[in-house]
A and B are shown apart, each in its own frame.
Chain A
Amino acid sequence: QSALTQPASVSGSPGQSITISCIGTSSDVGGYNSVSWYQQYSGKAPKLMIYEVSNRPSGVSNRFSGSKSGNTASLTISGLQAEDEADYYCSSYRSGSTVVFGGGTKLTVL
């Protein structure tokens, strides 16, 4: 079961916007509106940032937004802040009643 494809790392300066991509197939990302994004600090549990492609849970900053086009989902963080420096993971429902994660992207705030 291959993982979704994410860039290993992205970086940006404070105040800028960055976008993290998550590439799947028609059996997961492209076939369902069940893409989620998680933020994880080192040694901590993941935190849900986006669910169902573009929905934010209560309490998550509106600087975080999600979208999808075809087999590619994206997470955009606008107005980058130092506290955004973390690892980010996408996940999706995959046909066959399973869940698949991306390999993770390390965000560095310069």
Chain B
Amino acid sequence: EVQLVESGGALVQPGGSLRLSCAASGLSFSSYWMNWVRQAPGKGLEWVASIKQDGSEKNYVDSVKGRFAISRDNAKNSLYLQMNDLRAEDTAVYYCASFRAVAGIFWGQGTLVTVSS
């Protein structure tokens, strides 16, 4: 059974930092593009970042460029999202998802990030 388990979500003050993790099991982790997708409370899905199988290519939505960094450790079957200079508009449930053919095949249950003073 494929499992993607996110962790690291928390309440953080504006301007603060947070590191999200996603532990993968039951799939050939190194074979997939991995992505972070977020969903603000009561809002729709928003793609945040993606990373190629070997980590050689990383892409970001404009609103997080320069503040967020996606990375992966294939030896640990893990995906990460380093989030700096957090803003209120970054408040959301963050999902980790494995993509193939630009489609999210497997998704985690999400971790909540709340940015508030």
Nearest A residue to B61, CB-CB: A1
How extensive is the interface on chain B, given as a class? 20 to 34
Interface string of A84-110 (1 = CB under 8 A from B): 000001011100111111111000000
- How far is the CB of B34 from the nearest CB of chain A, in Å? 12
Q: B-contacting residues of A (Cβ < 8 Å)?
A: 1, 3, 32, 34, 36, 38, 40, 44-48, 51-52, 57, 89, 91-93, 96-104
Partner of B101, one of A46, A52, A100, A104: A52
Whether A45 lies near B44 (C-beta < 8 A) is: no
Would you call B57 an interface residue if the criterion is a C-beta within 8 Å of the partner chain's C-beta atoms? Answer: yes
Would you call B8 an interface residue if the criterion is a C-beta within 8 Å of the partner chain's C-beta atoms? Answer: no
Q: Report the separation of the CA atoms of residues A63 and B8 in the bound assembly, to the nearest whole angstrom.
A: 38
Which of chain A's residues have a CB closer than 8 A to the CB of B103? 34, 36, 48, 51-52, 91
Which of chain A's residues have a CB closer than 8 A to the CB of B35? 99
Whether B45 lies near A98 (C-beta < 8 A) is: no
Partner of A99, one of B47, B62, B63, B110: B47
Q: Report the separation of the CA atoms of residues A35 and B46 in the bound assembly, to the nearest whole angstrom.
A: 15
Asked whether A45 and B95 contact (CB < 8 A) given A98-B61, A104-B44, the answer is yes
